Amino acid sequence: MPVVFERCCGLDVHQATISACVLVFKNGDNEVRHRQFATHVADLIRLRVWLKSQKVTQVAMESTGVYWKPVWNELHRHFGLLVVNPLWVKQRRGHKTDKADAAFIAEQLQTDSLRSSFIPEVEQRELRDLTRRRENLMQDRNRLANEIHRVLEDANIKLSCVATDVLGRTGQAILRAIVRGHTDPGWLADYAKTRLRGKKKELELALRGHITDHHRWMLAHLLEEMDYKEGLLTRLEEVIEKRVEPDASSIALLETIPGVATRAAWTILSEIGNNVEAFGSAGQLASWAGLAPGNYQSAGQRRYVATRN
């Protein structure tokens, strides 16, 4: 294939080391120059200075996890920079070493045969960190709700059979009353709110169990952790709300989609951004978001591959 970039570099990035390979195309042949660097800031600056001294114009790197981020932060303002999917490099045949991988990346970059992963702007990456942190807190909340349900079942309390949300207003009031030592079903049922007040008899039956001091301690411990998580979630949502204020029109537009509320709109905006032109088509956007199942076919047989969560 014809050479597109006469001076380019391939980087194989790991947690502590970076293997760099510069290709210089001269007189119809490549001159190969290898260097290895550490990943702390001082060595990243040395890497940048070395690439400048080699008159490199294009750089491509392969990295797993988040190890690409420090390198990106140091180099993206100075070179054309691509981040390559590590699965593509792993498919390479032959004896694999860091030096060989860096050379392979450089060779593919030289003929412009690489496709870069989508790297959002720093503001979008920061918003994405916040919304993904919110998702983690929501998962923690669900885990705690499941643990509370398990404790109630152990105590023969069938609150979930009557109340759809055990941690709703009624459920919270009843659980905290149990923690304080109240066990009388009729007395606990008086904490029913709104529509559940019409189900007091069902509540009395559901709340007749065998509550021990152990159950009360477990519920108190779980509710304390739940309150802490709720506090973190509230503070985090306040921060996200301020961050998305400049994109209020985009949020409002996303909310017109059936089933998309404000917080879902935050997540969509953080993952996709305002500019969908980075994705070539609606199909590519769906694939990048993990909403399109893989298409694997061999010997006339298709293998089902689920979408990502």
4-13 pLDDT, tens digit per residue, is: 999 999 999 9
What would the mean pLDDT of 100-127 be, rounded to a whole number?
A: 89
Place of tokens 């010997």: 299
- The three-state DSSP-derived secondary structure of 209-224 is CCCCHHHHHHHHHHHH
Percent of the chain with pLDDT over 90: 61
pLDDT value of position 303: 61
Q: Which fold has domain 7-110?
A: Nucleotidyltransferase; domain 5 (3.30.420)
146 to 93, 151, 231, 289: CA distances (angstroms): 47, 9, 19, 28
Q: Which fold has domain 124-245?
A: Helix Hairpins (1.10.287)
pLDDT surpasses 70 at 143: yes
What is the phi/psi pair of residue 293, to 5°? -65, 150
Q: Which ranges in the chain are annotated with CATH 1.10.287? A: 124-245
pLDDT value of position 34: 95
Place of tokens 């294009």: 58
What would the mean pLDDT of 279-284 be, rounded to a whole number?
A: 80
Amino acid present at 149: H
pLDDT surpasses 90 at 298: no
Of the two residues 153 and 94, the one the predictor is more confident about is 153
Q: Which ranges in the chain are annotated with CATH 3.30.420.10? A: 7-110
Query: H-helix or E-strand containing 26?
Result: strand 17-26
What is the phi/psi pair of residue 32, to 5°? -105, 130
Candidate from 92-96, 146-150, 204-208 with smallest mean pLDDT: 92-96
- pTM higher than 0.75, yes or no? yes
pLDDT in tens, 28-56: 889 999 999 999 999 999 999 999 999 99
**Max Cα–Cα distance, the chain, nearest Å:** 92
